[in-house]
Chains A and B, each alone.
Chain A
Amino acid sequence: MSSWIKIVPLGDIPKLGSRVVRSSKGDIAVFRTEDDKVFALHDKCPHKGGPLSQGIVYGDKVACPLHSWQIHLADGHAVEPDEGQTACFAVKVEDGSVYLEI
C-alpha cells in the first residue's frame, strides 16, 4: 500500500532546484520549478544513471549533469531525439509542505 509521506517545507527546496529523498525504492529527486510546481522522479537518468537531482532545472525540464540529456519532469521522458524514461512518483504541496506518495 502506498501512502503520502510528509517530506519538507516547500521552502527547503530551492526554486529551480531539487532535494534528494532516500527511500526503500531508491533515491528520489524532488524538484521545484520557478512557479512552485513540484515533481518527483527516480534519481537516475535513463541514459547512464546520472543523478538528475544535480542537474539544472528550467521550465519543466531538467538537464542531466553527466551528459546533458533533457528530461521532462512531468513524466520522466527524455526529450527527443533521446529515448528513455525514468520512473515518476506522485507529489503534492499542502499547507506549505511537500508530500510524496510511496
Chain B
Amino acid sequence: MQKMKLVVVGNGMAGMRVVEELLKIAPDLYDITVFGDEPYPNYNRIMLSPVLANEQTIDDIILNTREWYAEHNITLHTNARVDRIYRESRVVYAEDGTSAPYDRLLIATGSKPFMLPIPGAELKGVIGYRDIKDTNDMIAAAKTHKHAVVIGGGLLGLEAANGLKIQGMDVTVIHKNDWLLERQLDKTAGKMLQLSLEAKGLNFMLNANTQQLIGHESGEYQGCVKAVQLDDGTELSADLVVMAVGIRPNYALAESAGIYCNRGIVVNDTMQTYDPRVYAVGECVSHRGTSYGLVAPLFEMAKVCATHLANFGIGLYKGSVTSTKLKVTGIDLFSAGDFSGGEDTEEIVLHDAVGGVYKKLIIKDDKIIGSVLYGDTADGAWYFQMLRDRKPIHEIRDMLMFGEDSLGNTGHSGQDKAAAMTDEMEVCGCNGVCKGTIVKAIKEKGLFTIDDVKKQTKAASSCGSCTGLVEQILASALGGGYAPPSTAKSVCGCTDKNHEEVREEIRRHKYLNIPDAMKGMNWRTPNGCATCRPALNYYLLSTWPHEAVDDPQSRFINERVHANIQKDGTYSVIPRMYGGVTTPDQLRKIADVADKYAVPMVKVTGGQRIDLLGVKKEDLTNMWADLDMPSGYAYAKGLRTVKTCVGSEFCRFGTQDSTKLGIDIEKAFDHMWAPHKVKFAVSGCPRNCAESGIKDVGIIGVDSGWELYVGGNGGIKTEVAQFLCKVKTAEEVIEYSGAFIQIYREEARYLDRTVHWIHRVGLDYVKQRVLDDAEGRKAAFERLLYALQGATNPWAERVEKRSEHKEFDIISIPA
C-alpha cells in the first residue's frame, strides 16, 4: 500500500513534537517531509536563554539531529522557506523552488518578534530575540561593544538582559509599565524582582516609552544604531537594541493560501484549520480565540493533532492554563492563572520583605484561581495542580500558605532543596540516580515531562517518593516549559480516558470483559499494555462482581500465581495466620514443608506471620497441598494482614478483645481484591501495640467501645491515620470499616492506597458517605459481602484443579 504524504511547514518545537508523537503511534502511515527556514535541525528554543547566559552551547540544545531525521526516513529541507501553498493541487513550494505534494499538511510556523514601528527600527544592531541567529548576533555584539538596551521587561526581555550582562555588556531595560513582568507578577513581587536583578548589575527605566532609535550617520558604523531616545527626551547610548515587546503569530503564509485566519490560524479542538486536510499547531494558531507563547500548551496540541493525523480520531484540545517561571539562575519566581484579583475574589498573602519571600494566592468560590510566588517557589507546582484540578480548598485553607509540607502529605522536597543539591547527590534511592544525571538528561535529550525523565533516567520510576524532587528539578531547568501533569490524567498511552471516565463507562455500558471494554472505549492498542490491563481487570471485577470475567493474563505475575516473585525468579509463600495467631500444629506443618522443599529462608514478617522464601515455581502447588493452609494474599492488591495485639484476654491493660476482632475481620474480608493492598490493625487499648495509627483501617479498643482510624500508611511515606468515628460494638466496627473499604474499592483509582484516595476526595466526603448516610453505609457493606460471597482459598483451588493450571508445569525436552 502506498503511504500517505505528510508535509510539515515549520521545523520548530510544535511541528516536530507532532511528528514525534505521530511516529510513536502510527510509524508507518506517512512519508514525511519537513520544511524549515532556519539552517538547523529542530532545537530547543527555550534553551536559547541558557545559551546566551553561557550555561549551555548550541550543540547541547539540538532536539532532533539530522541523523534522527534520516533514521526515521523524514525528508528535511533546511534553509527553505515555504512561500506558496496550492491547496487545490495540494503542493507546497519553497522560495528556492523545492516542492512537495501532500495528503495532509501541518503548518507550524511559530511566531515572530514584534518590532516597534518607530523611526530607526530598521537600523543595524536592532534585533528581536527568537532564534539561534539572534543569539549568535548578541554574543558577537558583546565581544566588540559595550552598551545594550533591551526594550521590554517581560520574560524574554529579562532573560535577554541577564544573558547580555553575563556576556559583559552594560544593560538597561526599558519598560513601559510600573513594574516588571506585569503580566506574570503583581506590583509587590515585580518590585522584589527588580531589586534582585539590580543586584546582578542590570539597570531599569520604568514607565518609559521609546520614541526613536538614532543611528551613526557616518564613519565605520554608519547605518548602525547609536542611541535610544525616550519620549521625555532622555537619550541612552546603545550599540545593540533588543526588542522584546511581544510576539505575533506567524500566519502570513496560511493567510496567503486562503486559510481562515484571525490574529492566528484558526483551528478547532482537533487542531484542524478550515481546510480539513490542513492542520496547524504551535504559536501560529488561534484556538478558541487564544494564542499561546509557551511550550506546554503547544505540546498538548501536538498530542491531540498526532492522534487525528494517525486517524484515531480521538482526543480534543480544550485550551490550557499556563504557568511561568523566569529562567535566570538564582531567581525564583512562579506565576500561574489570574492574579489580578477582582470583585468576588479573596487573597491570601505572605510577605517577608527582608527574607525576600512573597506569596500570594487568589481564591474564588473555594478554589485557587491564581498564584504569584517569589523567593520560595517550592509549592508552585502544587498550587498549580490544585488550580488546574479546581480542587476545593476549605479543608486545608488554614495551612495552604505554609505549603504542601505543612500538611505532611507527600515526600516532596522544595525548590530550595533541589537547588541546594550538588550534582552528585542522589535523588532516586531506588535506582541510584543523581541530580547531575537528571539535569544532564533534561538538557541533552530535551525532556519536558516527568514521564520522559522516568523513562530516560529511571528516576522516580520505582517507588515514586522522589517525584516531587524530580518535578522541582524539571521546573527549574525548563522554566515555563514545564507543566505538571494534571492529576486527572489518562490511564496510560493506550487511551485518553482517565480512571474515572473508564470506571463510568464500564458501569454505564456494563462491560464484562477486557476485549469488549477496550473496543467500546476505542482503545488505541489491540490488547492494551502492562499498565492498563491490570487496572481494567480490577475495574471490571469490582464493578460487576460475579459477572465480569477475571483475566489472569491481565494480572501481574504475583496475583496470577498467588505467590510473590523474587529477584531470582523464585517465589515466596506466606500462609494466612488470622490475626497473627498460630498453633503448634500449624508451626509443625510449616516446619515440615520447609524441610521437605529445602526452603532457603524462613522468616517472620512485619505482618505477624511466616514467610517461606525462595520456592521454585514448579514446587508451589505441591507445597500448598502439603501445607493445607489458606493463602495469606501477601502478593495481592487486596486484603493483606490484620495485625492484632494480645488484648483483654491476657494483657493487664486490655480493654477489648482485639485479637478476636482482628481474626473476625480477617475472615470477613478474606479474598478481597482492592485498588491496592489493604491492611488493618486492631489494638486492645490506646497503647496501640498493633500500630493501628499507620494502617488503612486502624482500630483501637477503649473502655467504652472502639475507635476507627482510616487512611494510615506505614510505607513509602508515613501517614498517620485520621480519626473517623467511635462505635460501641464489634459488629459495628465490621460494618463501618467494610463500608469504608467498599467505597474505596468502588471509587479509588487503581494503585491508590486509601490515603491517596482520601487526599483526593477529602475526609469530609468519607464521613458523609460512611457516617451521615446510614442507609448508604449499610448498602455499601452489603455490596462488599455480596462481592465476597463464595470466594475460596486460591491455593486449594489450584491444588484441586491442577490440570487447568498448566502454567506451573515446566516443559522438559530431551537434552
Q: Which residues does A use to contact B, with CB under 8 Å?
A: 5, 7-8, 12, 14-17, 19-24, 27, 30, 34-35, 48-51, 54-59, 63, 65-68, 70, 81, 100, 102
| Pair B456/A81 contact, Cβ less than 8 Å | yes
| Pair A54/B565 contact, Cβ less than 8 Å | yes
A22 to B526, CA, bound (A): 31
A7-B569 contact, Cβ under 8 Å, with A56-B553, A56-B554: no
Given contacts A16-B527, A50-B569, 19 further A-B contacts (CB under 8 A): A8-B811, A14-B552, A15-B553, A17-B552, A17-B553, A19-B806, A19-B811, A30-B811, A54-B557, A54-B565, A57-B553, A58-B528, A59-B525, A63-B529, A65-B557, A66-B567, A67-B462, A68-B530, A70-B530
| Pair A55/B557 contact, Cβ less than 8 Å | yes
Name the distance in Å between B77's Cβ and chain A's nearest Cβ: 27
B390 an interface residue at 8 Å Cβ cutoff?
no
B813 an interface residue at 8 Å Cβ cutoff?
yes
A5, A8, A24, A81 interface centre (most CB from chain B within 10 Å): A81
- Between A and B, 14 residue pairs with Cβ closer than 8 Å are A8-B811, A12-B806, A15-B553, A17-B553, A49-B569, A54-B561, A56-B530, A56-B556, A57-B553, A58-B528, A63-B530, A65-B565, A66-B567, A68-B530
B812 an interface residue at 8 Å Cβ cutoff?
yes
A35 to B556, CA, bound (A): 21
Q: Which residues of A lie under 8 Å from residue B555 when comparing CB positions?
A: 56
Q: Which residues does B use to contact A, with CB under 8 Å?
A: 455-456, 462, 525-530, 533-534, 552-557, 560-561, 565, 567-569, 806-807, 810-815
A54 to B567, CA, bound (A): 12
Name the distance in Å between A69's Cβ and chain B's nearest Cβ: 10
Q: Which residues of A lie under 8 Å from residue B533 when comparing CB positions?
A: 56, 58
A35 to B526, CA, bound (A): 10
Q: Which residues of B lie under 8 Å from residue A49 when comparing CB positions?
A: 568-569
A15, A54, A63 interface centre (most CB from chain B within 10 Å): A54
| Pair B567/A58 contact, Cβ less than 8 Å | no
Name the distance in Å between A4's Cβ and chain B's nearest Cβ: 11
The 8 Å CB contact of B810, one of A15, A20, A65, is A20
Q: Which residues of A lie under 8 Å from residue B561 when comparing CB positions?
A: 54
Q: Which residues of A lie under 8 Å from residue B557 when comparing CB positions?
A: 54-56, 65
A68 to B456, CA, bound (A): 14
Name the distance in Å between B436's Cβ and chain A's nearest Cβ: 18
| Pair A34/B811 contact, Cβ less than 8 Å | no
Name the distance in Å between B557's Cβ and chain A's nearest Cβ: 4
| Pair A34/B526 contact, Cβ less than 8 Å | yes
Name the distance in Å between B76's Cβ and chain A's nearest Cβ: 21
Q: Which residues of B lie under 8 Å from residue A17 when comparing CB positions?
A: 552-553, 807
| Pair A22/B553 contact, Cβ less than 8 Å | no
The 8 Å CB contact of A54, one of B456, B552, B568, B569, is B569
Name the distance in Å between B755's Cβ and chain A's nearest Cβ: 24
| Pair A66/B813 contact, Cβ less than 8 Å | no
| Pair A24/B815 contact, Cβ less than 8 Å | yes
Q: Which residues of A lie under 8 Å from residue B529 when comparing CB positions?
A: 58-59, 63
Q: Which residues of B lie under 8 Å from residue A57 when comparing CB positions?
A: 553
The 8 Å CB contact of A58, one of B455, B525, B814, is B525
Q: Which residues of B lie under 8 Å from residue A20 when comparing CB positions?
A: 810-811
Name the distance in Å between B457's Cβ and chain A's nearest Cβ: 9
Q: Which residues of A lie under 8 Å from residue B530 when comparing CB positions?
A: 55-56, 58, 63, 68, 70
| Pair B569/A59 contact, Cβ less than 8 Å | no
Closest A residue to B553 by beta carbon equals: A16
| Pair B556/A21 contact, Cβ less than 8 Å | no
B462, B568, B569 interface centre (most CB from chain A within 10 Å): B569
Closest A residue to B812 by beta carbon equals: A22
A67 to B428, CA, bound (A): 15
A3 to B813, CA, bound (A): 12
The 8 Å CB contact of B567, one of A15, A27, A48, A81, is A48
Closest B residue to A63 by beta carbon equals: B530
| Pair B553/A14 contact, Cβ less than 8 Å | yes
Closest A residue to B530 by beta carbon equals: A63
Q: Which residues of B lie under 8 Å from residue A48 when comparing CB positions?
A: 567
Q: Which residues of B lie under 8 Å from residue A21 when comparing CB positions?
A: 810-813
Name the distance in Å between B27's Cβ and chain A's nearest Cβ: 13
Q: Which residues of B lie under 8 Å from residue A81 when comparing CB positions?
A: 455-456
| Pair A22/B813 contact, Cβ less than 8 Å | yes
Which are the 7 A-B pairs with shortest beta-carbon distances?
A63-B530, A51-B569, A16-B553, A56-B530, A54-B557, A65-B557, A21-B811
Q: Which residues of A lie under 8 Å from residue B455 when comparing CB positions?
A: 81
| Pair B813/A59 contact, Cβ less than 8 Å | no
Q: Which residues of A lie under 8 Å from residue B456 when comparing CB positions?
A: 81
A65 to B533, CA, bound (A): 14
A59 to B492, CA, bound (A): 15
The 8 Å CB contact of A102, one of B462, B525, B813, is B813
A58-B527 contact, Cβ under 8 Å, with A12-B806, A81-B455: yes
A34 to B569, CA, bound (A): 25
Name the distance in Å between B723's Cβ and chain A's nearest Cβ: 37
Closest B residue to A62 by beta carbon equals: B530
Q: Which residues of B lie under 8 Å from residue A15 when comparing CB positions?
A: 553
Q: Which residues of B lie under 8 Å from residue A66 when comparing CB positions?
A: 565, 567
The 8 Å CB contact of B527, one of A19, A23, A34, is A34
Name the distance in Å between A48's Cβ and chain B's nearest Cβ: 7
Q: Which residues of B lie under 8 Å from residue A50 when comparing CB positions?
A: 569
Name the distance in Å between B634's Cβ and chain A's nearest Cβ: 16
Q: Which residues of A lie under 8 Å from residue B815 when comparing CB positions?
A: 24
Closest B residue to A100 by beta carbon equals: B813
| Pair A7/B811 contact, Cβ less than 8 Å | yes
| Pair A22/B811 contact, Cβ less than 8 Å | yes
Q: Which residues of B lie under 8 Å from residue A22 when comparing CB positions?
A: 810-813
A14 to B533, CA, bound (A): 16
Q: Which residues of B lie under 8 Å from residue A8 when comparing CB positions?
A: 811
A21 to B618, CA, bound (A): 12
Q: Which residues of B lie under 8 Å from residue A51 when comparing CB positions?
A: 565, 569
Name the distance in Å between B230's Cβ and chain A's nearest Cβ: 53
Q: Which residues of A lie under 8 Å from residue B810 when comparing CB positions?
A: 20-22, 27
Q: Which residues of B lie under 8 Å from residue A58 when comparing CB positions?
A: 525, 527-530, 533
| Pair A65/B556 contact, Cβ less than 8 Å | yes
The 8 Å CB contact of B534, one of A23, A35, A56, is A56
Q: Which residues of A lie under 8 Å from residue B527 when comparing CB positions?
A: 16, 34, 58-59
A20 to B809, CA, bound (A): 8
Closest B residue to A6 by beta carbon equals: B813
A8 to B526, CA, bound (A): 26
Q: Which residues of B lie under 8 Å from residue A5 when comparing CB positions?
A: 813-814
Name the distance in Å between A102's Cβ and chain B's nearest Cβ: 7
Name the distance in Å between B572's Cβ and chain A's nearest Cβ: 14
A76 to B364, CA, bound (A): 55
A70 to B565, CA, bound (A): 18
Q: Which residues of B lie under 8 Å from residue A12 when comparing CB positions?
A: 806
A102 to B814, CA, bound (A): 10
Q: Which residues of B lie under 8 Å from residue A54 when comparing CB positions?
A: 557, 560-561, 565, 569
Q: Which residues of A lie under 8 Å from residue B526 when comparing CB positions?
A: 34-35, 59
Name the distance in Å between A74's Cβ and chain B's nearest Cβ: 15
Name the distance in Å between A51's Cβ and chain B's nearest Cβ: 4
Q: Which residues of B lie under 8 Å from residue A56 when comparing CB positions?
A: 530, 533-534, 553-557
A63 to B555, CA, bound (A): 12
B528, B530, B554 interface centre (most CB from chain A within 10 Å): B530
Closest B residue to A65 by beta carbon equals: B557
Closest A residue to B494 by beta carbon equals: A58
A58 to B556, CA, bound (A): 12
A14-B813 contact, Cβ under 8 Å, with A54-B565, A56-B530, A56-B556: no
A83 to B262, CA, bound (A): 48
| Pair A19/B813 contact, Cβ less than 8 Å | no
A12 to B806, CA, bound (A): 7
Q: Which residues of A lie under 8 Å from residue B528 when comparing CB positions?
A: 58
A66 to B568, CA, bound (A): 9
A102 to B799, CA, bound (A): 33
Name the distance in Å between B437's Cβ and chain A's nearest Cβ: 13
A15 to B554, CA, bound (A): 11
